[in-house]
Amino acid sequence: MKGEGDARHLTTAEVARRLDIKPETVYAYVSRGLLTKLPASGRRGSLFREDEVAKLARGRRHRERSTMDDIATTISAIEDDQLYYRGRNVADLLATHPVESVAGLLWTGELDSAPAEFNAPAAILRTTRAAVGALGESARLTDRMRVAVTVASASDQLRFDLSPQGVLRTARIILAVEADCLGPHHDSGTLAERLGPALTEHVLPAGLLDSTLTLLADHGLAISTMAARVAASARVHPYGVVSAGLGAMDSQYHGAASTVAYRFLADAMADPLGAASERLRLGGGLPGFGHLIYQTTDPRAELLLTILRSLPDAAPALEAIDTITDHLGAPHTAVPNIDLALAVLMHTYRMRPDAGEAIFALARTIGWIAHTLEEYAERPMRFRPNHAPVP
């Protein structure tokens, strides 16, 4: 079918037939930046440039085809700039279910209206706290989480139980030690209640941090999720899978993006246009603005910023953002993303500069576990070029 200008555009189904892949894999290509999704004016669905699809097809024919090209997931989906978990719009989950229930939805497909607390055995908690305590006060929060997950793994003799029930047991332990190792010891309570005191001395409004964790729990086949799935494909136990995700997340382009946005926002609150001008002059783009996948708005940022706009203390940070967006207009690159929304949250409650990374890591652990369960159902060791020798 014809799209804008002279370019021919294809529907999702047409792209799937052209590339001989599943429709779900088309959106996996979008999440990895291999295809650009365009809105379909006046109709439901998405369009793709035929010349871009043809180029991708030629590239696939001229290289050894990796089975990573065929990965698809039913855990989350992005359609028309909306994020869905197991077919449920994430916006509908915020006010109705705690993140522990959302974790159950991502892991099993079922929402539990009264989920149990996520706890770890006392012996594992003692060991992880001792190890994390040895790092000293200068250690970043995500450094503490990596150590906690590794030490908990070495302390758990049942870590090799890869059955669905075994994975769920391990998942609850991992999330508990991640939350409990960061600051004041809280052996009980929700994940948000245990995480909050490690991030700030201020009291957070009920539900704010919980909603933020829900918004970040999964986002398709992001790079850290792909790292987790590769590990799971080798039948690495869940501790190792989460460690792989945490390692891939430790990057300026991924997990650390909220810290970069936090520092930019600090400058912008003092001089919005001056801070933006300096960043543009250096050619690096504006931290916290724009997104590879979303065309008009990042729904996660929109939802979190809407909550923050009701809080008076968020006004200075929001005014800085509004000043920048008002002057830049409305191109895709001027749309705030979830990293900038996290930065607003951090400034509003005087959180640590690396608080956003810790929130992201704890939340995304939930998604990595969901992908672990999904990957364990596939044939093992599938992520290698078809013609590569198997040792």
Residue pointed to by tokens 């429709």: 23
Q: Under a CB-based contact definition with an 8 Å cutoff, are residues 340 and 301 in contact?
A: yes
Contacts 24+ apart (CB under 8 A), 87-90: 90/214, 90/215, 90/299, 90/300, 90/303
Distances, alpha carbon 306 to alpha carbons 313, 336, 344, in Å: 14, 12, 11
Pick the more confident residue, 313 or 32.
313
pLDDT value for 320: 95
Phi/psi region, residue 27 (left: phi>0; alpha: psi -120 to 50; beta: rest), is: alpha
- Rounded average pLDDT over 140-144: 95
pLDDT value for 79: 87
Backbone φ and ψ for 79, nearest 5 degrees, come out as -135, 130
pLDDT value for 253: 75
CA-CA distance, 369 to 190, in Å (whole number)? 18
pLDDT value for 59: 64
CA-CA distance, 371 to 366, in Å (whole number)? 9
Pick the more confident residue, 320 or 55.
320
- Rounded average pLDDT over 3-16: 73
Assess whether pLDDT exceeds 80 at residue 343. yes
Two tokens, residue 121 = 């055995």
pLDDT value for 314: 96
Of 80-84, 91-95, 145-149, which one has max mean pLDDT? 145-149
pLDDT value for 358: 96
pLDDT above 70: percentage of residues in the chain: 90
Phi/psi region, residue 152 (left: phi>0; alpha: psi -120 to 50; beta: rest), is: alpha
**Which range among 21-35, 129-143, 215-229 shows the weakest confidence by mean pLDDT?**
21-35
pLDDT value for 2: 43
Pick the more confident residue, 19 or 212.
212
Pick the more confident residue, 39 or 234.
234
CA 115 to chain centre: 22
Residues facing residue 38 across a β-bridge:
47
Q: Under a CB-based contact definition with an 8 Å cutoff, are residues 177 and 185 in contact?
A: no
**Which range among 25-39, 92-106, 228-242 shows the weakest confidence by mean pLDDT?**
25-39
- Residues in contact with 112: Cβ distance below 8 Å, sequence separation at least 6, in sequence order: 100, 101, 104
CA-CA distance, 129 to 122, in Å (whole number)? 11
pLDDT value for 327: 86
> Residue 316 carries which side chain, given as an amino acid letter?
P
Assess whether pLDDT exceeds 70 at residue 109. yes
Supply the pTM of this predicted model: 0.81
Residue pointed to by tokens 């758990």: 156
Mean pLDDT, all residues of the chain? 88
Distances, alpha carbon 186 to alpha carbons 117, 120, 122, 192, 299, in Å: 12, 12, 12, 11, 32
pLDDT band at 385 (very low <50, low <70, confident <90, very high): low
pLDDT in tens, 287-335: 888 877 887 889 999 999 999 999 999 999 999 999 998 888 766 567 8
CA-CA distance, 341 to 348, in Å (whole number)? 11
